[in-house]
Amino acid sequence: MGSVSAADVRGRVRALLAAWDQKADPAEFLRARFDAGLAWVHFPVGLGGLDAPRALQAVVNAELDAAGAPDNDPRRIGIGLGMAAPTILAYGTDEQKARFLRPLWTGEEVWCQLFSEPGAGSDLAGLGTRAVRDGDDWVVDGQKVWTSSAHTARWAILIARTDLDVPKHRGITYFVCDMTDPGVEVRPLRQITGEAEFNEVFLTGVRIPDAHRLGAVGDGWRVAQATLMNERVAIGGGASVPRESGMIGPVAATWRERPELRTPELHDRLLRLWVDSEVARLTAERVRQQMAAGTPGPEGSGLKLSLARLNQQLSGLEVELLGEQGLRYGDWAMVRPRSVDFYGRDAGYRYLRAKGNSIEGGTSEILRNIVAERVLGLPAEPRNDKDAAWKDLPR
């Protein structure tokens, strides 16, 4: 890595644009971009990349944005881009990488995550969904919950228990599940916002070929940790963003546009949160630079923790700033959105949606433990079930 320069990348982008028929299906352009190594430049050649420094992706994006080229709607396929793709790259076979990465990146196949369960959310390693070997297949039975985009997904990353006789972290295996297979049932979960971007998923006798296993049998917890670390970086700061991006943007805009709403106390609170938001943005940029050297570490948990706190405090300040107007909620309707939108619509929506930020992608309580133990080096919490077989744990 490192032999590809910014000039090389710009030349590839311009060649791609020169061959682009603006009347063609956008998917054709996206496939051509992937094949040219301009999807994620730090990936290997032939898998959407150029084995180039990750920082050169900003050069690609700037050139294509300036030309008005179609993108892959990253908000709609964020789970695939931020979680499934890096896990497949790290643990998948050559056949799995060739099959899944291209349609994942172009958005032709949407992905979801089948991890959390009704009895195994914060304690994810206690999951009870079973996968039993049957010849060349695994037969899966169980229930998953809080599954974003399951209603639009073709594929899912799934962890299931394959050994009951070992401690809970050691009896898990990681699979790719076809959401269109018989036995997969998706039911909506209505949120406080009125919509249902989350789902519960029931798996009944679902057959998954062993060829769709990621990593070794029983090594699913290690593979899942790579997914979760990437998820937290993706939520907390997965892409380079300009100043006043995210929740601070609409709050600062309201402050500037509505001087009659201002008070000295609100000014002090907004200023403190603006500084906190800028610190979080710059910290995310530093983590992105560190990621260029390898897999993201536990620092991503700190970023995600900061995002949840800031979003909730800022959205609360915005509602308070707007007074009676802030209490309005434009459309409490049962819809099943195609993508997650933390910041869209009105202040009331942002306030309600932000409540989920401290749960999704790892609860804030769990993330504090991760930061304490793995970043600050504090003693680990006592875990009495660490060495007990899963089948012997109380449930």
Measuring CA to CA, which residue among 4, 75, 86, 82 is closest to residue 43?
86
Active site residues: 231
Query: Whose structure tokens read 């590809």?
Result: 4
Residues 6+ apart with CB under 8 A from 180: 154
Query: Whose structure tokens read 């133990």?
Result: 373
How far apart (Å, rounded) are the C-alpha atoms in residues 214 and 211?
8
What DSSP letter does each residue of 272-326 carry, written as one string? HHHHHHHHHHHHHHHHHHHHTTSS--THHHHHHHHHHHHHHHHHHHHHHHHGGGG
Phi-psi domain of 146 (left: phi exceeds 0; alpha: psi -120 through 50; beta: other): left
Provide the terminal-to-terminal Cα distance of the chain, rounded to the nearest Å: 49
What DSSP letter does each residue of 92-155 carry, written as one string? --HHHHHHHHHHHHHTSS-EEEE--BTTBSTTGGG---EEEEETTEEEEEEEE-S-TTTTT-SE
How far apart (Å, rounded) are the C-alpha atoms in residues 259 and 272?
18
